Amino acid sequence: GENVEQHPSTLSVQEGDSAVIKCTYSDSASNYFPWYKQELGKGPQLIIDIRSNVGEKKDQRIAVTLNKTAKHFSLHITETQPEDSAVYLCAASMFYFGTGTSLTVIP
């Protein structure tokens, strides 16, 4: 089966700085890569996703890049704000999730 690895497990940034979270996957047939934000005590919510026919996608302060050759994809958050503090989960399809990154934005 697929194996999704996510790094780092924790990340602290100053407000206004950028944050980058990286995930790698093992199955070259995977073609859908969503990112979810999970606040404490809540279920995950989709923030952005990318399909394998696209290299980059942006939505305001959030962007995702995909390198199919290297089998990795990354989440980029610019101009971070305290409300960005949460756990971020990457996934390959609906079936395989990364282990999560706990992001803390320090005011």
Partner 1 sequence: NAGVTQTPKFRILKIGQSMTLQCTQDMNHNYMYWYRQDPGMGLKLIYYSVGAGITDKGEVPNGYNVSRSTTEDFPLRLELAAPSQTSVYFCASHITTNTGELFFGEGSRLTVL
Contacts with partner 1 by CB under 8 A lie at 1, 4, 6, 9, 31-32, 34, 36, 41-46, 49, 51, 89, 91, 93-100
Instruction: Give the nearer residue to partner 1 in terms of CB position, either 41 or 107.
Output: 41
- Least distance in angstroms from the C-beta of 94 to partner 1: 6
Longest pairwise C-alpha distance within the chain? 41
Instruction: Give the nearer residue to partner 1 in terms of CB position, either 43 or 107.
Output: 43
71 alpha-carbon distance from chain centroid: 14
- Least distance in angstroms from the C-beta of 50 to partner 1: 10
- Least distance in angstroms from the C-beta of 57 to partner 1: 14
Burial class, 95, CB count within 10 angstroms (exposed 0-12 / middle 13-18 / buried 19+)? exposed
Q: Contact, 85 vs 26, CB < 8 A?
A: no
Instruction: Give the nearer residue to partner 1 in terms of CB position, either 36 or 80.
Output: 36
Of 66, 84, 83, the residue nearest 75 (C-alpha) = 66
Instruction: Give the nearer residue to partner 1 in terms of CB position, either 51 or 61.
Output: 51
- Least distance in angstroms from the C-beta of 3 to partner 1: 11
* Angle ∠(107,23,5) on CA atoms, nearest 5: 110
